């Protein structure tokens, strides 16, 4: 199918749901470690409690990608999954701050992550469905822009509520999650649903060229057993570019996971000098959320520049440079002595984050067949979640035996991993294939 060029606002509409998805995801990233600690978790247990995110992605995304490739309803191919995931995730966001125990919060995180993945995975394939090859880099850059905007607002939301609107940020006892966190998650639930609904209502999808042949083929390949058989076969026959990108993704997301789970505790204890439950710790945790908001804000702004850079430079060159900058930014955290200077480190991380959310997918989308776009985008997620599974399983041991339970050392490990990812990008074959 020859797909026409879409306007800026058409690409905006089809991507806007990602704003809501990242709003919910950003609340989770910035607050779950602190929520776990409010409920009594030790530092060495936090990585294990974060296993929900990668494990649900490992299971859910390939299946959602496989079935969305084979779906056609009055809402289209991908939009039914957008909507179902948004409804479930919004309910989980409302329940999360009302957790009364550590394991209740961990269980809700599994539900939340599964729901987010149901909405998120088809959005990647949506770009391949709707845009021609020349516009795909712009489509993924637009997603990066809206992801940055959603994460900026969500990461800083508890800090904004407590400092601008006088909402209480105090933990008033055992298992007590501050009121500012409660309200932030309720707002996130509303934003998630409305943003996804906007994309569902404003964007139509291209139907299969031969609907009868499409349905006949789906009947032949129906069934969960066939789905798993095709998923494993697809992994074995991945295009070369996808295999090369898998190595890049592994080191990239291992570095990000180190940052996500240990940066805020590192700021609260090493920069603010707090201990769990102390006012200094809470102030540091909130400032860590501001730092997360800052790097997402930079990603939002830098995504505008990406929209220009992709017209002149290859995605491979852009991604190599951005990952290098991000790795150096994480390493610089160790040498920062004041909270305000942390924001400079986050500028570098934000540049890398904008590229991480767009350039690998732009490279991949031109190396996989269009009729299996959802499937391969789901399988590609393996190489995001596998390092995140390895991190919780191994980081607890590394923290206690090699890093001295020093959360700052875990952040430095993340920076080194990101630099290694930048080196690996140089070996990726980014030649587009039909």
**Residue 434: pLDDT band by 50, 70, 90 thresholds?**
very low
| Contact (CB, 8 A) for 17 and 119 | yes
3-state secondary structure of 73: strand
User: Of 211-225, 255-269, 277-291, which one has max mean pLDDT?
Assistant: 255-269
**Residue 365: pLDDT band by 50, 70, 90 thresholds?**
confident
Q: What's the whole-model pTM score?
A: 0.73
Q: How many CB atoms lie within 10 A of CB 9?
A: 9
CA 225: distance to chain centroid? 29
The DSSP bridge partners found for residue 76 are 73
As a whole number of angstroms, the distance between CA 197 and CA 349 comes to 30
Instruction: Give the tens place of pLDDT for each residue, 81-99.
Output: 999 999 999 999 999 999 8
233: which 2 tokens? 């076969």
Q: What is the 3-state secondary structure (H, E, C) of 17-45?
A: HHHHHHHHHHHHHHHHHHHHHHCCCCHHH
Instruction: Give the tens place of pLDDT for each residue, 166-184.
Output: 888 776 655 578 888 899 9
422: which 2 tokens? 């930048």
**For residue 251, which of 25, 60, 30, 423 has the smallest C-alpha distance?**
423
Angle between helix axes 17-38 and 279-309 (nearest 10 degrees) is 160
- What number is the average pLDDT over the span 370-386? 75
Tell whether domain 9-425 is in CATH 1.20.1250.20.
Answer: yes
Q: How many CB atoms lie within 10 A of CB 155?
A: 29
| Contact (CB, 8 A) for 180 and 161 | yes
CA 87 to each of CA 67, 82, 120: distance values in angstroms, whole numbers, following the listed order:
19, 9, 13
As a whole number of angstroms, the distance between CA 350 and CA 352 comes to 5
252: which 2 tokens? 């990239």
The set of residues, in sequence order, having a beta carbon less than 8 Å from that of 310 and lying 6+ positions away, is 137, 138, 141, 318, 362
As a whole number of angstroms, the distance between CA 49 and CA 110 comes to 10
- What number is the average pLDDT over the span 116-143? 84
The DSSP bridge partners found for residue 73 are 76
Over the Cα atoms of the chain, what is R_g?
Answer: 21
């Amino acid at each position: 199918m020859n797909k026409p060029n879409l306007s800026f606002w058409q690409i905006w509409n089809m991507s806007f749901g990602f704003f809501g998805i990242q709003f919910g995801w950003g609340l989770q990233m910035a607050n779950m470690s602190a929520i776990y600690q409010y409920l009594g978790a030790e530092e060495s247990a936090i990585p294990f409690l974060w296993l929900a995110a990668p494990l649900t992605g490992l299971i859910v995304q390939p299946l959602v990608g496989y079935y969305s490739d084979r779906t056609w309803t009055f809402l289209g191919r991908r939009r039914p999954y957008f909507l179902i995931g948004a409804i479930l995730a919004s309910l989980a966001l409302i329940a999360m701050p009302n957790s009364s125990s550590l394991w209740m919060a961990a269980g809700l995180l599994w539900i939340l992550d599964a729901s987010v993945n149901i909405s998120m995975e088809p959005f990647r394939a949506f770009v391949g469905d709707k845009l021609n090859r020349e516009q795909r880099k712009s489509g993924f850059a637009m997603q990066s822009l809206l992801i940055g905007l959603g994460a900026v607002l969500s990461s800083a939301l508890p800090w904004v509520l407590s400092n601008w609107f006088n909402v209480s940020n105090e933990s008033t006892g055992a298992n007590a999650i501050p009121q500012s966190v409660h309200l932030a998650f309720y707002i996130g639930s509303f934003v998630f649903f409305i943003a996804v609904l906007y994309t569902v209502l404003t964007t139509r999808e291209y139907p299969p060229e031969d609907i009868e042949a499409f349905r006949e083929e789906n009947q032949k390949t129906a069934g969960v057993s066939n789905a798993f058989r095709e998923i494993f076969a697809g992994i074995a026959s991945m295009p070369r570019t996808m295999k090369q990108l898998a190595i890049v993704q592994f080191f990239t997301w291992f570095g990000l996971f180190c940052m996500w789970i240990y940066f805020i505790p590192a700021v609260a204890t090493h920069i603010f000098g707090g201990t769990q439950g102390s006012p200094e710790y809470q102030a540091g945790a909130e400032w860590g959320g501001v730092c997360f908001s800052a790097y997402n804000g930079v990603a939002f702004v830098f995504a505008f520049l990406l929209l220009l850079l992709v017209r002149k430079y290859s995605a491979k060159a852009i991604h190599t440079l951005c990952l290098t900058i991000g790795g150096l930014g994480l390493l610089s955290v160790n040498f920062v002595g004041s909270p305000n200077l942390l924001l400079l480190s986050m500028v570098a991380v934000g540049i890398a984050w904008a590229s991480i959310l767009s350039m690998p997918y732009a490279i991949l989308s031109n190396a996989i067949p269009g009729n299996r776009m959802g499937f391969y985008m789901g399988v590609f997620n393996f190489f995001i979640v596998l390092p995140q599974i390895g991190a919780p399983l191994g980081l607890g041991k590394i923290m206690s035996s090699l890093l001295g339970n020093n959360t700052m050392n875990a952040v430095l490990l993340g920076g080194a991993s990101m630099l290694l990812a930048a080196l690996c990008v140089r070996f990726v074959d980014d030649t587009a294939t039909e």
